[in-house]
Structures are given as C-alpha cells and as structure tokens.
Chain A
Amino acid sequence: MKNPDPRAFRPLNTPRPVRVRTGEGGRPLVLHLNGGGQKVLQILEIWQIDEEWWREPISRRYATLTLEEGRTVTVYRDLLEDRWYLQEG
C-alpha cells in the first residue's frame, strides 16, 4: 500500500512550546517570546479542559493574558507534562 503524502494534510493552530516564568500558585508572570521576556499585566480568563481520559488523556489549563506591549495571547500549561504552550484559544 502506498504511504500517504505527509504534506497532503496539515493540522492548523498546533500548540507551540513557550517558556513561561510563573509565580505564586503557578500564575504566569513573564512570557519569553521571540527571545525577549514580556511581563504579564493581566490574566483575562482562565479555563481548563480535561478530555479523552479513556485513551490518551488531555489536561490543559488555558489562560488569556495581556502582555506589557499590549498584545493579548492565549497560553496553556499541559498539566500532565508540566509544560507551557502558546495557542489560539
């Protein structure tokens, strides 16, 4: 059987790893984007998803943040891997 071309299908909005400095209670304080640190001015929203416990569990805590430069970004902490990712919510 012919192998499918991996270029034929691409997921969109895949999470990208990001370095995050956290504070008390795991609150994100600084995001390291494009080599520079951006202070988090405000956490606009926090939500958690726990899915697919019956096969490969997914557990993420998302946060929408306002950065000091004025940008709004969404990040999540993978609660199983304990890693941070950048992704549009």
Chain B
Amino acid sequence: MAPLRQGPPLLLDMEGARGSSPLFSPSLPGLPGSRQALCVWLPTFELRLDLVRSPELDATSVALLSPGEGTRRTLWQVSERAADAGARPGQMVSQAISLCPSLTLLEPDPAHYDAAQEEMVEALMELSPVVEPAGPGRVFVGMDGLERLYGPPSQQVMRALQALLEVFPRPLVAATRMGRAPGKFGAWVAATRSGPGRPVLVGEADLPSFLASCPVSVLPVDPLMIQRLERLGIATLKQLAALPQSALVSQFGLQGRKAVEWATGRRLDPVRPLHRPQPIRVSLDLPSPAGRTETLHGALDRLLEKALARPDRRGRSIRGVRLRARLEGGGSWSVEAILREPAARRESLAFPLRGKMALSPPPRAVESLAVELFQFGAATTQPGFFDRKEEGGREAEGTELEEGSVPPSLREAVRELKLKLGHSPLYRVVEMDPWSRIPERRYALLSFEP
C-alpha cells in the first residue's frame, strides 16, 4: 500500500485539555496503570481503512474529505500519489482538483472507522488487560509484567503485530508504527520515530538521551507554545531541558513544567486501563429513505425519548451523544455533541445535535438513524433515589422535575436523616451578594429542609 499523508498528529495536553484529548481517554481513576508503554499507531488510519475496502484505488490519487464542513469542503487525508501532485490536507477541494484533476474524493465513513478502532482495541486487549485508546488508529498498551508471558520487548512487539493481524488485513498491519518506552510520552515519540516493520524500543536508561534529540513539536502541549519555543530558537528537547524550570513555568504555566518533565524523562505517564461505560444505543429504520430536516428531527426526538427511557440510563445524566445514519446507496454519516453540562432532558440533547445537523447535514437520504449515549455524568450514589414511584415523584420515562420542585422521596429521605442526626445534613448554595468585592459574602450554604 502506498504511504499516505495527513496533517500533523493532533496532540493535546494529556491532562490540561478540556473535553476528550486524543492522548488521554477516560480511564479508571486511582489505578496505578502500567509504567512500560507500547504505542501502536496507524497514521492516516481513516484513509487506509477506506483503501482496504477499495483496493482498486490504491494506485490512484485519493483524498478523504474532512467530515462535517458543509459546502466548503476541505481535504482531510491524502495519498502519497495525490500529495506528489500537490494535494495537501486542509486544502480546499476546488484547489486540490485544479492541481490534481484525476483526484478521487472519498466521503468519510465514521461508523466504519469507529468499528475498526473498536476491533483494534479488542485485539490488543488479548495481549494485555491495560489498553488505553488515544484517538483514531492510536492505542497505548500497558506492557508491565509481560516478559514471562511473551519474552523480551522485541517479542512482545511481535505479539502485538500478530494480535492486529487477527482483525486487520496484512497491508494495514504492515503500515503500523510501534514504539515501546517507559511512559506514554516516550512510547508515542518512539512510535513517531519508527517505520513500517521497524519498531523503536527505548529502555529505561536510554530514555533521556533518546528524547534529547527529538524536536519540541513532539510535546503534547498547546501548538502555540511549540510555535513560541521554535521562534525563540529552542528546537530540540535537549535545548528545552537546559532551560530553568522556573522560567518555563513563568512563561507557559503548568504546561511549561510538564514540558520540561517530559523532555527530561522525569515525567512518566502510566498507561491506564480503559474505563468504558457501556453506551446506550437505539436505532430506527425509516419506512423510506428520508432527507427532509423535519422528518429527521422527528426521528431524532423519538430516538432520544427511547434512549432516555432505557432502564440502564436511569440515575445517570448524559454528557456525550452521537447521531448516526446509514445512507441510501451505502456509507454512513454521524455527528456528535459533548454537552458542557450533563443533561437528561430530550430537548437539551436534541438541541446541539440539531445544530450540528444544520451545519453538516447527511449528504444523501437516510435509511436508518441511530442515537448513541456514550458519555455519562456522575452516577447518583443512590440509584433509584429519584425514581421511586410515588405520587408526585419523578416519572421513570426520562422526564425531569420542574426546577425548584422537590420529589416526595427526597422529602422523606431528609426527614429520616433529621430524625437520625438531629439536623439536615443537606445544603443548597444560595446567593447572598454575588457582586460583593468581599468573596466570602457572595454565596452561602443554607440548610436544605424541604
């Protein structure tokens, strides 16, 4: 398979970034994780998957379109042949076509990519129980304690390749890059320095010298910080490590401190086992392919109602929701929304999805629609507490209480606690003088006695 190109890998701060970071997925807090990490990385994952499905395109100029950009579409990933003709990731389609008239454009198929990513994670879980996905086509595997099972590191890497061969065709596995080092950062940098069939293994003692020669662009920090470092003439991690930590913290805050710790190999982020709450999926086959917005909105509302009413949803609010569609004539489409505040009302979930649909509507008529609730707010410590079927209490079908109303079950619980403790241990935050210049006068806790 011909080599492919995409934009620089998106790397965000492992802890500092809000929302989901490609290098930092939700994991079980408190678990120590694995110090030795193997980074398995398949660059241009999505385009390679499409070329595996359509091998006849392998020898042509191919580009994958960016998902969800309406009429002003740009290129997301391009094949080597297309790159040779001048096509670049991020380029407008019209510009790319003028440079490379024979360019074949492919629509992204997010459902297919997600399924392949799942397969990749599942396959690597056969190797080690500590597996942490970090964006499409990139997975960290915890390697602590595997020597007795699989032998030295080089053989462990071979086992990982064999595990991938169980689920992916050989050309795809052959393009996989692998790096093994202490900590996720070292493993990622090693993977970027590896080649197809040429893994890079870095031992504990070699890590600082290995990192020293790497460019600062490998750091998982804000790209603006990288730009500033490069403008200051700090090109390598060795140059960065020579700077006083206090100066970096002063310039870049917490990111500066982390950067110097990564650069020197002092900071080793362990691979943590993936915590995957089971997503809730509901789907609907439309009687005939539909493209009208009103029809799709109606179907979305029905699906959200169904999903919220599922017994396994109760007691949990929703943070991430995805809408997928199977399109007429093949292919798929999807949009997703991560809510700033977890919600459990249909309207709150439908609103951002409708907005995304308006920006990036399905390119063809829709045959079936599916909703997936995939990120959840904190589960209540007393499941069912709000769900007791009492007169005036919350209904089970996903509807919320009116603001300010108190369900009888809660009243009863407070009454029981008062009898036991002599006072109500529940409080609510009340505004006192929110604009006061004296901070302790702005808000207070008031005993909650419904």
User: With an 8 A cutoff between CB atoms, is A34 at the interface?
Assistant: no
Q: Which residues of B contact A7 (CB under 8 A)?
A: 423, 447
Interface contact A10-B246, CB-CB below 8 Å: no
Residues of B within 8 A of A (CB): 245-246, 249-250, 253-254, 257-258, 423, 427, 429, 437-447
Chain A interfacial residues counted at CB < 8 A: 24
Given A13, A41, A70, which contacts B440 in the complex, CB threshold below 8 Å?
A13
Interface positions, chain A 1-58, Cβ under 8 Å from B, are 5, 7-15, 39, 41-42, 49, 51, 58
CB nearest neighbor in B for A87: B439
CB nearest neighbor in B for A88: B439
Interface contact A51-B444, CB-CB below 8 Å: no
Interface positions, chain A 52-78, Cβ under 8 Å from B, are 58, 66, 68-70, 72
User: For the complex, what is the distance from the CA of A72 to the CA of B252, rounded to whole Å?
Assistant: 13
The secondary-structure label for the interface of chain B is mixed
Q: Which residues of B contact A15 (CB under 8 A)?
A: 440
Provided the pairs A49-B437, A70-B254, A70-B257 are in contact, do residues A11 and B249 lie with their beta carbons within 8 angstroms? no
Interface contact A10-B442, CB-CB below 8 Å: no
Interface contact B444-A10, CB-CB below 8 Å: yes
Beyond A10-B427, A58-B438, A66-B250, 18 additional pairs, beta carbon < 8 A: A5-B447, A7-B423, A8-B446, A9-B446, A9-B447, A11-B440, A11-B445, A12-B442, A13-B443, A15-B440, A41-B246, A41-B250, A69-B257, A70-B249, A72-B253, A87-B440, A88-B439, A89-B439
Interface contact B444-A11, CB-CB below 8 Å: yes
User: For the complex, what is the distance from the CA of A70 to the CA of B441, rounded to whole Å?
Assistant: 28
Q: Which residues of A contact B445 (CB under 8 A)?
A: 9-12
Q: Which residues of A contact B446 (CB under 8 A)?
A: 8-9
Q: Which residues of A contact B442 (CB under 8 A)?
A: 12-13
Interface contact A12-B444, CB-CB below 8 Å: yes
Q: Which residues of A contact B437 (CB under 8 A)?
A: 49, 51
With most chain A CB atoms within 10 A of its CB, the pick from B254, B427, B439, B440 is B439
Q: Which residues of B contact A42 (CB under 8 A)?
A: 249-250
